[in-house]
Amino acid sequence: MRKIFQSRWFKIPFNVFLYGFSAYGFFLTVTYFAMKFKLTNESGSIDANNRYFQEMHDKYNQSFKVDSVSMMSHRYEVLNRILLLNEYYPKNAQYILEAYQSSKDEKIALQMLDAVDLRLKDNVEYMNALAELRENRLEQKEKTGLSVFEWMNIEEWKAFRIAVQKDKKWIDSAAHASGVEARLIVACLAGEQIRLFNSKRESYKRYIGPLKVLVLENNLSYGVTGIKENTAIKIENYMKDSNSVFYPGKKFAHLLDYDTTNNYSNNINGHMDARLKRLVQFNNHYYSYLYAALFVKQIKMQWQRAGFPIDNRPEILASLFNLGYAKSKPKKNPSVGGSEYEVGNSRYTFGSITFEFYYSGELADVFPYEKSRFDCY
């Protein structure tokens, strides 16, 4: 046995094992004490941009305004900075744009752009362009809560906005029956009602403003859209006259037929005939809108047959709605016009008011833009 233990075949592996085990034990002991006294902790380092990160956090965490005016400003900033970044790094610009379109969050988008700006802080050309962009924003005039369209800033318009929304069901019904875009009908209504803001100002102060209802005309012009009796008679006749240039088509022929079972009488139209009684209604303005829509449709048919379509000229259609059939003479370059009146400090024609309203975006959530202004339903 002793010979085995003394042989080199035993001693070599045994010594290797013994010294190795001792070394491992020593390593564990040293490691234990090193950890106990925190000798293994890395000293670490503070990022050179730490201050920037903190400032960015404070900027978006404390002073980021979320009111409607500020959010619109943030939106413009996001889009302008994405456009700038696209000139240098289109891939990053695309990522940020896609994230913004998905989240609709201006704060996140601006933080993404700030992260890019930090990485590009040594890119002199980019940073100069960014500084110029920001300088241009600072030089912009102070924002206002008013509209560029003066008629939208007066008290009467605020009452009109509420009143016309109350009539949505009648306007939509007339639009679907006639095939005329609801927004085009409202443009004609707006031109007529705004015309009355000054001429019937006392009525607005006493009744229209407090009650938020539309002016109901009952002298020479009738209803909320101001249809003249002679015009109403012509509209009815052209609906059934297939030989007329104003004829809108067979399917519309009976839209204005009289329903003898309905009584349209009230305390101000009792002396009127059935035609005007339908127009002069307090709570149901359907026929005011239907007559207006059918007039516009007939004018559209006249110009279309003459080879001068005006489907995409709401200001011309509205001007002719105000001026009447006699002034509707199809030609290549028609003029915008109609009744002239003042609103605030500006002078307008009926056609210019309707043009501004139609393209203003006002009430677009209630009366949206359709792909076509005729036969769109």
Helices vs strands, H then E, count in the chain: 17, 5
User: Which is higher by pLDDT, 214 or 176?
Assistant: 176
Q: Of 164, 67, 76, 75, nearest to 364 (Cα)?
A: 164
pLDDT value at residue 68:
59
Q: What is the C-alpha to C-alpha distance for residues 294 and 325, in angstroms, rounded to an integer?
A: 12
pTM for this one? Answer: 0.67
Q: What is the C-alpha to C-alpha distance for residues 283 and 313, in angstroms, rounded to an integer?
A: 31
pLDDT value at residue 41:
46
Residue 121's pLDDT band (boundaries 50, 70, 90)?
confident
pLDDT value at residue 202:
62
Q: Is the pLDDT of residue 60 over 90?
A: no
Q: Of 285, 168, 145, nearest to 217 (Cα)?
A: 285
For tokens 């677009």, name the residue: 364
Residue 206's pLDDT band (boundaries 50, 70, 90)?
low
Residue 335 phi, psi (nearest 5) = -105, 145
Per-residue pLDDT, averaged over 29-35, amounts to: 53
pLDDT value at residue 301:
97
Q: What is the share, in percent, of the chain residues with pLDDT greater than 70?
A: 73
Q: Which of these ranges, 198-207, 247-256, 344-353, 355-364, has the smallest mean pLDDT?
A: 198-207
Q: How many CB atoms within 10 Å of residue 375?
A: 13
Q: What is the C-alpha to C-alpha distance for residues 268 and 287, in angstroms, rounded to an integer?
A: 17
Phi-psi region of 281 (alpha: psi -120 to 50; beta: other; left: phi over 0): beta
Each domain of the chain, given as residue ranges in start order, spans: 52-138, 150-360
pLDDT value at residue 318:
94
Residue 346 phi, psi (nearest 5) = -115, 150
Residue 261 phi, psi (nearest 5) = -80, -15
Per-residue pLDDT, averaged over 20-47, amounts to: 53
Q: Is the pLDDT of residue 210 over 60?
A: no
Across 33-47, 102-116, 352-366, the highest mean pLDDT is recorded for 352-366
Identify the helix (H) or strand (E) that includes residue 375. none
Q: Which of these ranges, 27-31, 125-129, 187-191, has the smallest mean pLDDT?
A: 27-31
Q: What is the C-alpha to C-alpha distance for residues 238 and 240, in angstroms, rounded to an integer?
A: 5
What proportions of the chain, in percent to the nearest 5, are helix, strand and coil? 60, 5, 35
User: Which is higher by pLDDT, 55 or 243?
Assistant: 243
Q: What is the share, in percent, of the chain residues with pLDDT greater than 90?
A: 36
Residue 134's pLDDT band (boundaries 50, 70, 90)?
confident
Residue type, 355: F
Tokens of 291: 């007559």
Cα dihedral across residues 259, 265, 270, 276: positive or negative: negative
Question: What is each CA distance from 342 to 114, 151, 349, in whole angstroms?
Answer: 49, 10, 9
Task: Identify whether the C-beta of residue 316 lies closer than 8 Å to the C-beta of residue 184.
Answer: no
Across 109-123, 127-141, 187-201, 326-340, the highest mean pLDDT is recorded for 326-340
Residue 40's pLDDT band (boundaries 50, 70, 90)?
very low
Specify the pairing of strand 221-223 against strand 227-228: antiparallel
Q: Is the pLDDT of residue 133 over 50?
A: yes
Q: What is the C-alpha to C-alpha distance for residues 338 and 226, in angstroms, rounded to an integer?
A: 14
pLDDT value at residue 42:
46
What b/e string do you get for 7-46 counting C-beta neighbours within 10 Å, with b at 16 or more? Answer: eeeeeeeeeeeeeeeeeeeeeeeeeeeeeeeeeeeeeeee
Per-residue pLDDT, averaged over 201-206, amounts to: 59
Q: Which of these ranges, 95-104, 142-151, 180-189, 234-243, has the smallest mean pLDDT?
A: 142-151
pLDDT value at residue 232:
93
The total number of residues shown for the chain amounts to 377
Q: How do residues 286-321 score in pLDDT, each as one tens digit? A: 999 999 999 999 999 999 999 999 998 999 999 999
Q: What is the C-alpha to C-alpha distance for residues 301 and 306, in angstroms, rounded to an integer?
A: 9
pLDDT value at residue 73:
76
User: Which is higher by pLDDT, 45 or 148?
Assistant: 148
Q: Is the pLDDT of residue 23 over 60?
A: no
